[in-house]
Amino acid sequence: MRPIDLMDALGDLPEDYIARELTYQPPKKNSIPFRAVIAAAACLLLTAGLVRGVWMKRQPIDTVPPQETLPTTETLPTEPVTTDTTAVQTSESGSEAETTASESASETAFSATAAWTETIETVTLPVQSIPALTQPASSTEATHPAATAVTTVQTDPTESPTESSITMLTTVKTGDAAENETPAEDETESPAEGIAETTAYIPTDPTEPIDITDPPEPTEPSYSLPGNLTPDSSGRDPLDGFTATECFGRTVLTVTPESDDPTDFSLGYTCTDRRYFQESMATDVAGGIWNTAYTYLDRQNGTSITVRLYCRSRFRLEYRTETAQYWRLDRPDGCIYLHCDAGGYVLYDDGNYVMQIEYNDPQADYQGFLEHFVPKN
């Protein structure tokens, strides 16, 4: 069979086959303005995400310093404390006052952004968090030498917190009261912290607040890095001589030696070896990135090694024949690495005869390339 026979056979194809190809419209690339708009939108989203992330991380520290929220935690004098009777309330009204206080505190703390205000408005504080406020009036009237006064700021949601309409609610917590409060012992020991924490949490469950003061760092998608390659049966590291580089956004391996170490690009073979490798290729997708692995089968001893795609290896074109190109890499140890590309085409030529191998077709089934080392002279 001659090539011209194939041409003739193509010419005898049915008309609809020809018409189909004549009218075929290749998929168009997006226009530059369109791509620019998409890129700008992506950048905007990314920036917004970053700003939000940074803000979230800083927010609890900046807006809710315990010292500012509860500026006065003063020790009462030894003499009996006369509490403000106007502040003494029943258990029910105390709960309401607590809720109001916490909501006001939340609103004050998060008044910087509406988004966070919305979040905080849904918070319902557990009643147990400040047990002193739930105590009957009689319990708050008791005096104790070690009693401490905790001052909280109650604000009217409808008014500015800086105005004089702020009412001071003073709650006296006695030692007895603290002893009687078995649940949430930590909170009773330091109610000031308990209140401060309510502004730092976004509770999804009233009984189990979630700490967001230190959100987890976003994790980057894991790619199939070259380090995951499996050594061959002889125990050699298949990565010898191959260095991971970035190539068009991909992590690939290049065979260009980075050091003067003669073994850098040896693949375990010496200069005097003359090895032939049958090359095959498998491609898979990981994280949206095509990964290509080459398997080199050493036909002399049956061993095989697997390496990842190498891209833009700095090979020079040594010579060409009608059916093949021979790409040469001068190894640091004085040997020549010769890659015989029997495909009969130039892979890439940017003027420096840089060879580029980049396959994206998962169905590609290249076989039959020969790789071999030849000693110099």
Q: Which is nearer to other proteins, 319 or 348 (CB)?
A: 348
Cα separation, 343 vs 93, whole angstroms = 88
**Residue in 53, 71, 183, 344 binding other proteins, rule: CB under 8 A:** 344
**Of all helices (H) and strands (E), which one includes residue 180?**
helix 175-180
14 contributes a contact to other proteins by CB under 8 A: yes
Q: Which is nearer to other proteins, 10 or 61 (CB)?
A: 10
**Residue in 34, 56, 365, 376 binding other proteins, rule: CB under 8 A:** 365
For residue 29 the two structure tokens come to 């690339």
Q: Report residue 243: phi and psi, to 5°.
A: -115, 140
282 contributes a contact to other proteins by CB under 8 A: no
CA dihedral (335, 247, 346, 371) positive or negative: positive
Q: Which is nearer to other proteins, 57 or 314 (CB)?
A: 314
9 contributes a contact to other proteins by CB under 8 A: yes
248 contributes a contact to other proteins by CB under 8 A: no
Query: Across the beta sheet with 148-154, what order do the strands follow?
Result: 73-75, 148-154, 167-173
- Tell me, by CB under 8 A, how many residues bind other proteins: 41
**Cα radius of gyration (the chain):** 37
Q: Which is nearer to other proteins, 23 or 230 (CB)?
A: 23
CA dihedral (349, 354, 355, 361) positive or negative: negative
Distances, alpha carbon 147 to alpha carbons 77, 194, 203, in Å: 9, 18, 30
Cα separation, 331 vs 264, whole angstroms = 9
**Residue in 142, 356, 370, 372 binding other proteins, rule: CB under 8 A:** 356
Taking CB under 8 A as the binding criterion, the range among 6-14, 60-68, 107-115, 303-311 that sits at the site for other proteins is: 6-14
Least Å distance, CB 32 to other proteins, is 12
User: Can you give the binding site for other proteins, defined by CB under 8 A?
Assistant: 1-19, 21-22, 24, 26-29, 322-323, 343-349, 356, 359, 361, 364-366
